[in-house]
Amino acid sequence: MRILLIGYGKMGQTIERLALAKGHEIVAALTVNDADRLSSYTADQVDVAIEFTSPDAAVGNMITCFEKKIPVVCGTTGWLQHLPLIKEKCQEHQGSLFYTSNFSVGVNLFFHFNEYVAAKMQQYPEYAVQVKEIHHVHKLDQPSGTALSIADGILKHYPQKHGWINDISQEPELLSVVSEREGEVVGTHIVQYTSENDTFELHHIAHSREGFASGAVLAAEWLPGRQGIFGMTDLLQL
């Protein structure tokens, strides 16, 4: 499979190594300095693009891929306020997009169990729920896209809560999503339920970027030949 890498930071380099080890070809690895080259590639040259850049660049990169009929796997977070536009452009160009806040198989199972637990726990108002995420100091967006996905899964089952706040909430109708930036932490996410009597947690710790990168390669293998917008729940059949 011929892969175009859009973004060549630590994640892009890890994806390249894993993709090459699986026998795939890297057509090019575009950095921020040569991003304008993206429009020069076509579906005749590229089977799928994998996009890990920045929130500001991701939207334009995805739209260019749609225009060029190149299926695109997007791992950039922080751009979901533009999702209606992306859906419109994907449909307009009959494009293919796979996006998720986190490509880790373990994290996506975490999402699944998070919703299951939230559906049960909302019946017990004596337990206060909170989300916490810890990442490396270089991460630009906060809360993390993964934390927002976790929060959405909780809010789906807590109709009495009207949203989230990126802080300790003093208002019961707002879900606390606490962000910390620490050293080179790859990614830790915690959902905590606390009552006067006890506390229990759902806890996921990423040990390396390889789990994210291998998931992105898996998505890139799965996407070509499909039309529309997909995510890990489709890939994992959750």
Digit-coded pLDDT (tens) for 32-86: 888 789 999 999 999 999 999 999 899 999 999 999 999 999 999 889 999 999 9
Q: Which two three-digit tokens encode residue 51? A: 């996009």
CA atoms of 210 and 195, how far apart (whole Å): 36
Sign for the CA dihedral angle at 172, 113, 206, 4 comes to negative
Q: What is the DSSP letter of 32?
A: G
Q: Which two three-digit tokens encode residue 26? A: 């890297």
Q: What pLDDT is attached to residue 208?
A: 85
State yes or no: is 69 an active-site residue: no
Mean pLDDT of 149-158: 96
Q: What pLDDT is attached to residue 52?
A: 94
3-state secondary structure of 236: helix
State which CATH number among 3.40.50.2020, 3.40.50.150, 3.30.360.10, 2.60.40.10 fits the domain covering 105-206: 3.30.360.10
The catalytically annotated residue of 24, 132, 135, 157 is 135
Distances (CA, A) of 221 to 25, 109, 173: 12, 20, 42
Q: Reply yes or no on whether the pLDDT at 216 is more than 90.
A: yes
Mean pLDDT of 149-169: 95
State yes or no: is 135 an active-site residue: yes
How is domain 2-99+210-236 classified at the architecture level of CATH?
3-Layer(aba) Sandwich (3.40)
Mean pLDDT of 179-204: 95
